[in-house]
């Protein structure tokens, strides 16, 4: 097993001392109807997943794409559930368990408010920062957590990559957890004395009620580009899915990046006070007026130096510990989200001016190579826009050639694959196409589409195709030398590949180090924190009942 993969599975996160809430009060507050005796029953928590259920909790059974969660009500009863919360159809399925039933019209729609009520997270929460956008959400979230730690705060984090609770690190299952898990996580953070929390908020989280019952002190917007059209009909619908975060029932203030054209639309349509920021070096409209500006000072393999300036003359100079102008933009957004959330400017300057942002960004342009030989970066980017920005960043710090190693997700937005191939070949000297998460698709078909996009854009380019990725990285290392660079886009922090619904243990970071070592190049041992691995159970559709 690769060394990045410890043996334990991620624990289910719950407060150690959850509130004891009367089921009769729950039914009176949220129920339309009830079945069975509600008296003398208390609820210690709720869950959508019977596998995560603890004795004393209520099981929330929702209708999925293929089956109704109430089909697993007996499993929930066997595990110690004290009640089932479901709709009319689910009540009929769950009735044979003999458990008390609370009937609601739409279990998923009430899950956020229900979770907040059960865990007491409707009041007295840590300071919350939520960030959305196509690219950069994870980076901004981790930069927020890193800067908060530099300020001396006890921090919490919920991102695509990891969950942090007062120093403990656990690998994530979903970008934004289901509402029941999210409120339990916040209750645990409060219990552990967390002062401030950074949260990555996906469009799907907003559409699927995962952040219901939460009001963020500050919401941040990074950018919008082609992605997730497997979930949304078009880019307009995708954009509209982001907007609810910038309404008073979701946030109190907002910081909006104007680097993509969508930023101006968000700022115009936001229903909360907005502060704007722009990085002219990468902005679609570099002359657009903004409250704050990020100016790039220097780009090196060990980081990107920048100056954050306000229209009224304030400034600080700092370095983000990864390459890329877009990463400096992310750092500027994170700093402003802290400022707008109440941290004094003088305190931010004291911690950051002339210093590096002390943040670990797992799988975000993460260098896994040594000082000699080709520089190898592993990155999570999986959209055309991410490819373009990251390839340009690698190019600016690489004296030699740039090789890109890339695959694409199966069972996800297939409309972006031609553009992924095009962008990958346009920004690199050598392109190697391989597999990523094929899921239930034929990987040969996925690679063929990437190849089609690449060859249409540059018929004379040097393009190779290798499968599986274990071979591809070996071949890629053989194609480059000292002073060159490899950008392996897609796997990032992930420690598995999804092959026909089975999460197979796999680490691009370890495979890259091994290929370099076998080729005779020195390779440093990893120094980043090693959290619990991602759950290796079969991947599930977010709308499918979780068993």
Which pair of structure tokens corresponds to residue 47? 């869950």
The confidence score (pLDDT) of residue 175 equals 52
Task: Return the sign of the alpha-carbon dihedral for residues 423, 429, 433, 436.
Answer: negative
SS3 assignment, position 431: strand
Which letter does DSSP use for residue 416 in this model?
G
Question: pLDDT tens digits for 229-285?
Answer: 666 778 888 888 899 999 999 999 999 999 999 999 999 999 999 999 999 999 999
What is the spatial distance between Cα 393 and Cα 321, in angstroms, rounded to a whole number?
Answer: 13
Domains annotated for the chain, with CATH where assigned, are 21-119 (3.40.1390.10), 127-356 (3.40.1190.10), 366-518 (3.90.190.20)
SS3 assignment, position 139: helix
Residue 140: half-sphere exposure toward Cβ, Cα within 13 Å:
31
The confidence score (pLDDT) of residue 222 equals 96
Which pair of structure tokens corresponds to residue 496? 């598995």
What is the spatial distance between Cα 159 and Cα 169, in angstroms, rounded to a whole number?
Answer: 11
Task: Count other Cβ atoms within 10 Å, centred on residue 232.
Answer: 18
pLDDT tier, 226 (very low <50, low <70, confident <90, very high otherwise): low
The two most distant CA atoms of the chain are separated, in Å, by 75
Percent pLDDT > 70 in the chain is 92
pLDDT tier, 532 (very low <50, low <70, confident <90, very high otherwise): very low
| Cβ atoms of residues 334 and 144 within 8 Å | yes
What is the spatial distance between Cα 390 and Cα 282, in angstroms, rounded to a whole number?
Answer: 12
pLDDT tier, 385 (very low <50, low <70, confident <90, very high otherwise): confident
The confidence score (pLDDT) of residue 55 equals 96
Task: Count other Cβ atoms within 10 Å, centred on residue 487.
Answer: 27
Residue 470: half-sphere exposure toward Cβ, Cα within 13 Å:
7
Region of residue 136 (phi > 0: left; psi between -120 and 50: alpha; otherwise: beta)? left
For residue 331, CA distances in Å to 45, 151, 152, 320 come to: 36, 15, 18, 7
| Cβ atoms of residues 153 and 189 within 8 Å | no
The confidence score (pLDDT) of residue 411 equals 85
The confidence score (pLDDT) of residue 168 equals 87
Tell whether the model's pLDDT for residue 531 goes beyond 50.
no
| Cβ atoms of residues 161 and 171 within 8 Å | yes
Task: Return the sign of the alpha-carbon dihedral for residues 101, 106, 109, 110.
Answer: negative
Residue 273: half-sphere exposure toward Cβ, Cα within 13 Å:
8
Choose among 253, 232, 229, 249: nearest CA to 241. Answer: 232
Which letter does DSSP use for residue 69 in this model?
G
Which pair of structure tokens corresponds to residue 49? 């997943």
Choose among 364, 376, 405: nearest CA to 515. Answer: 376
Task: Count other Cβ atoms within 10 Å, centred on residue 191.
Answer: 15
Choose among 135, 37, 198: nearest CA to 382. Answer: 135
Tell whether the model's pLDDT for residue 382 goes beyond 60.
yes
Q: What is the mean pLDDT of the chain?
A: 90
Out of 159-163, 220-224, 288-292, 528-532, least confident range: 528-532
Question: pLDDT tens digits for 347-379?
Answer: 999 999 999 999 988 878 889 999 999 999 998
The confidence score (pLDDT) of residue 504 equals 87
Burial class (CB in 10 A: 0-12, 13-18, 19+), 310: middle
Q: What average pLDDT score do residues 177-186 get?
A: 91
Residue 204 sits at φ, ψ, to 5 deg, of -65, -35
Tell whether the model's pLDDT for residue 4 goes beyond 60.
no
DSSP string, 244-275: GGGSTTTEEEEEEE-SSHHHHHHHHH-SS-EE
| Cβ atoms of residues 375 and 396 within 8 Å | no
Tell whether the model's pLDDT for residue 534 goes beyond 80.
no
* 113/177: higher pLDDT: 113
Question: pLDDT tens digits for 300-350?
Answer: 988 999 999 999 999 999 999 999 999 999 999 999 999 999 999 999 999
Tell whether the model's pLDDT for residue 528 goes beyond 70.
no
| Cβ atoms of residues 300 and 284 within 8 Å | no
């Amino acid at each position: 097993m690769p060394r990045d993969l410890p043996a334990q599975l991620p624990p289910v996160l719950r407060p150690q001392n959850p509130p004891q809430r009367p089921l009769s009060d729950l039914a009176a507050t949220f129920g339309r109807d009830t079945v069975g005796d509600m008296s003398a029953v208390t609820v210690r928590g709720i869950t959508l997943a019977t596998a995560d259920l603890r004795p004393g909790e209520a099981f929330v059974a929702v209708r999925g794409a293929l089956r109704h969660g109430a089909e697993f009500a007996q499993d929930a009863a066997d595990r110690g559930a004290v009640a089932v919360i479901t709709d009319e159809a689910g009540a009929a399925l769950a009735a044979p368990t003999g458990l008390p039933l609370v009937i609601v019209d739409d279990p998923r729609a009430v899950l956020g408010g229900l979770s907040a009520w059960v865990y007491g997270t409707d009041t007295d929460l840590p300071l919350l920062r939520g960030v959305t956008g196509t690219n950069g959400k994870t980076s901004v979230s981790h930069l927020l957590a890193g800067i908060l730690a530099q300020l001396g705060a006890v921090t919490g984090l919920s991102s695509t990559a990891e969950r942090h609770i007062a120093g403990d690190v656990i690998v994530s299952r979903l970008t934004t957890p289901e509402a029941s898990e999210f409120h339990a996580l916040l209750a645990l953070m409060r219990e552990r004395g967390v002062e401030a929390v950074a949260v990555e908020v996906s469009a799907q989280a907003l559409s699927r009620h995962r952040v219901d019952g939460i009001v963020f002190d500050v919401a941040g917007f990074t950018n919008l580009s082609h992605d997730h059209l497997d979930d949304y009909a078009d880019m307009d619908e995708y954009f509209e899915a982001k907007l609810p975060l910038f309404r008073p029932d979701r946030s109190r203030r907002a910081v909006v990046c104007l680097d993509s054209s969508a930023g101006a639309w968000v700022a115009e349509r936001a229903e909360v006070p907005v502060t704007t920021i722009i990085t002219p070096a990468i902005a679609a409209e570099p002359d657009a007026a903004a409250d704050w500006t990020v100016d790039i000072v220097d780009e090196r393999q060990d980081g990107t130096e920048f100056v954050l300036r306000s229209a009224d003359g304030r400034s600080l100079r700092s370095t983000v510990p990864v390459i890329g102008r877009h990463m400096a933009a992310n750092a500027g957004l994170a700093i402003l989200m802290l400022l707008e959330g109440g941290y004094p400017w003088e305190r931010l300057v004291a911690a950051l001016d002339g210093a590096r942002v002390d943040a670990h960004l797992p799988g975000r342009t993460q260098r896994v190579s040594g000082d000699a030989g080709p520089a190898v970066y592993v990155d999570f980017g999986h959209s055309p826009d991410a490819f373009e920005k990251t390839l340009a960043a690698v190019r600016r710090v690489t004296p030699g050639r740039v090789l890109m190693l890339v695959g694409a997700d199966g069972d996800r937005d297939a409309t972006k694959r031609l553009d992924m191939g095009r962008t990958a070949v346009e920004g690199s000297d050598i392109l190697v196409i391989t597999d990523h998460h094929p899921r239930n698709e034929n990987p040969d078909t996925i690679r063929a589409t990437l190849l089609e996009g690449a060859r249409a854009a540059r018929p004379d380019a040097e393009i190779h195709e290798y499968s599986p990725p274990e071979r591809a990285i070996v071949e890629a290392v053989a194609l480059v030398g000292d002073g060159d660079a490899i950008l392996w886009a897609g796997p990032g922090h992930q420690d598995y590949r999804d092959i026909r619904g089975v999460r197979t243990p796999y680490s691009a970071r370890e495979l890259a180090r091994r290929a370099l070592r076998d080729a005779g190049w020195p390779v440093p041992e990893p120094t980043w924190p090693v959290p619990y691995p991602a759950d290796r159970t079969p991947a599930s559709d977010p709308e499918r009942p979780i068993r």
